[in-house]
Amino acid sequence: MKTTKSYDPNCRQCPRLATFLDDVKADYPTYFCKPVPPFGDDPKPDLFVVGLAPGMHGANATGRPFTGDHAGILLYETLHKFGYATKPQSVSVNDGLKLNRARISNAVKCLPPGNKPTLDEIKTCNHFLAHELAQTPAKTRILALGLIAHNAVLMAFKLKPSSAKFAHAARHELASGHTLFDSYHCSRYNTNTKRLTEATFCDVFRLIQGS
């Protein structure tokens, strides 16, 4: 059953993901192992970052997006550099880090096996993201980290994937008035292979702040 919430800590709408979380919790009893809530208290942020899904030993363990895993290293360093975070490192929900005029969420709130949610799971979870984005003013700039996040944002606004093609450092004006920016995901693979570097990631943030 669909809801009109930004987050439901008890959601089990995707049987495969719910079962996988149960299995992971059995192996790692101290892990969060629930749908991971968005991070950032500002209801009208200047920047809204959308990632893919929680990482096994990162957000799924800590309960905060991009916290405790490799993908969060570059993200939080860059958020801090551009004034969106009070600290350059995010290690736990109790580390005192706060976001300034920013919010971070994911296309899929639960840990997927192999970090690969199915299309049905993305669609099922999309109403949460849609509700979040619907609360933001048109001035909010949206940053999609990767193709899945990009398409999830379009889906949330009921737009076709063909309406805006994903490309690193691309900028898209949406019918809602929001501006969508794209970046390669700050995953370990992308940073290790130099597909995404600190310089090219900062270029996207400069583009955002210059808009």
Q: What does the pLDDT look like over 31-86, one tens digit per residue? A: 999 999 999 988 899 999 999 999 999 999 999 999 999 999 999 999 999 999 99
CATH code for the domain in which residue 90 is found: 3.40.470.10
85-136 per-position pLDDT tens digit: 999 999 999 999 999 999 999 999 999 999 999 999 999 999 999 999 999 9
> Quick one: pLDDT at residue 3?
47
Whether residue 68 is contained in a domain is answered as yes
Residue 6 lies in a domain: no
Give residue 67's domain range.
Answer: 15-209
- Would the pLDDT of 211 be above 90? no
Written as six digits, the tokens of 23 are 């299995």
**Residue 193 structure tokens:** 């292979």
Q: Does residue 1 lie within any of the structural domains?
A: no
Q: Which residues, other chains included, contact 161 with Cβ-Cβ below 8 Å and sequence gap of 6+?
A: 151, 154
- Domain-embedded: residue 39: yes
Give Cα 92 distance to the centre of its chain.
17
Count structural domains, the chain. 1
- Answer yes or no: is 110 within a domain: yes
9 in a structural domain: no
**Would you report the helix, strand and coil content of the chain in percent, each value rounded to 5?**
35, 10, 50
pTM: 0.95
